[in-house]
Amino acid sequence: MSAETVSVTGWGRTAPTTARLIRPRTYEEAAAAVRDCGPRGGIARGLGRAYGDAAQNAGGAVLDMTGLDRVHVIDAANGIVLCDAGVSLHRLMRVLLPLGWFVPVTPGTRQVTVGGAIGADIHGKNHHVCGAFSRHVLSFELLTADGEIRTVGRGTPLFDATTGGMGLTGVILTATVQLQPVETALMSVDTERARDLDDLMARLSASDHQYRYSVAWIDLLARGAATGRAVLTRGDHAPLEALGTRARREPPAFRTSRLPAVPAHLPEGLLTRTTVGLFNELWYRKAPHARTGRLQSISAFFHPLDGVPHWNRVYGRGGLVQYQFVVGYGQEETLRRIVRRVSERRCPSFLAVLKRFGDADPGWLSFPVPGWTLALDIPAGLPGLGALLDELDEEVAAAGGRVYLAKDSRLRPELLAAMYPRLDDFRALRAELDPRAVFVSDLSRRLSL
């Protein structure tokens, strides 16, 4: 087990803090690291794709769990995998696809560990039909503050507190996950343009149930009659008959492409209203008005940005804020107001996506609830951004919505209870399970979790 003092930040590269980074290689070393966290406690960390401060711990310990990365058992007949929490979704896809299985839920990056997927209760383009990651987790092993390793099954309070609990109930060591059957390594994709936000919502509401995966890119710099114009992309895993005769004989394989990495130091001011506006115009215009059945690789459909290493550097030294919220069905006017406000402020966001969520997941701090979720990336140094997002938080909370803790870096704690009704239950269980506050993070301190 190695340890060093380092500066730690989230994927947004804002608010770095210094911590002792510990890299356990065995369950015993993980338990020893928890015992020796010190007065500032510790928090588990995977591949660092949480945008904010969820996997940071100023002055304390951060446990890098990526060294525990064994795939223990694959039940290829029933589609069940038992693996360490440090295994990445990328590795699972490589291992599982040739066997005819796929991860049940993937976010916009495959560089996420299984433990991180549970702790953040990640969602993807298929929440409207498949729910969040926790819905497919059968059980997991959790190292708690007392040094005990507990097997935690679905339907228990500890399961519901841990899924979406941002690592604050303990360190996940292993997980057993139910998989999704697939016949090929390709996606059959339909693409269409929507002329404005109302057109987009109407298309999603009318036909989203016909697709397993659905997402819309929104041009948040478009104004007037074009406000909320979008490119809607939906699809499903391509069946075997969609392939040519020769390709059908080969087992599905996970293939990726890789572009040059973004340099560590870029000139400031690359993402201006002018440059992002030009990008958005080109992106919208190059999209087909309507195209069906295009075959696309899994990596291109789900994780296009993973092909650009360190893409977050394009935002410069100041980093980026990803703001994601959800408001329920019936609160469409709140969504319209927020889109109009962001568009009128000319926020230079080229990564803005809208999706529909299905039924809520059981995790007490799980983010998805039935409704509309919008996520957007904004340069952190944009003048007036903090005040704007504070105002949007108020609108979201007033509408009964919430922001996503795995992407948050600036929410005011007084709004948290309005957004997450099970917050008191979470705090009570955590106080009973971890009375000495062994597990703590910058996020938990900031929000009094």
Compute the half-sphere exposure of residue 381: CA atoms within 13 Å on the CB side of its CA: 12
pTM for this model (two decimals): 0.96
**Mean confidence (pLDDT) of the chain:** 95
pLDDT of residue 317: 86
In terms of DSSP bridges, do strands 171-178 and 80-84 run parallel, antiparallel, or are they unpaired? Answer: antiparallel
pLDDT of residue 254: 84
pLDDT of residue 28: 96
Confidence of residue 268 (pLDDT cuts 50, 70, 90): low
Over the range 202-235, which residues count as b (16 or more CB within 10 Å of their CB) and which as e? ebbeeebeebebbbbbbbbbbeeeebbbbbbbbb
Which is higher by pLDDT, 282 or 268?
282
What is the C-alpha separation between 48 and 46, in angstroms, rounded? Answer: 6
56-115 pLDDT tens trace: 999 999 999 999 999 999 999 999 999 999 999 999 999 999 999 999 999 999 999 999
Residue 266 pLDDT greater than 70, yes or no: no
Averaged over 246-271, what is the pLDDT?
A: 75
pLDDT of residue 265: 67
71-84 pLDDT tens trace: 999 999 999 999 99
1-39 pLDDT tens trace: 788 999 999 999 999 999 999 999 999 999 999 999 999
369-394 pLDDT tens trace: 999 999 999 999 999 999 999 999 99
Beta-sheet strands, E only, within 144-179: 149-153, 171-178
Distance of alpha carbon 331 from the chain centroid: 23
pLDDT of residue 270: 74
Tokens representing 173 are: 């060591």
Burial of 263 (0-12, 13-18, 19+ CB in 10 A): exposed
The H or E element containing residue 186 is strand 186-194
What is the C-alpha separation between 215 and 204, in angstroms, rounded? Answer: 9
What is the C-alpha separation between 183 and 93, in angstroms, rounded? Answer: 13
Which residue blocks in 263-331 are alpha helix, DSSP H? 273-286, 298-302
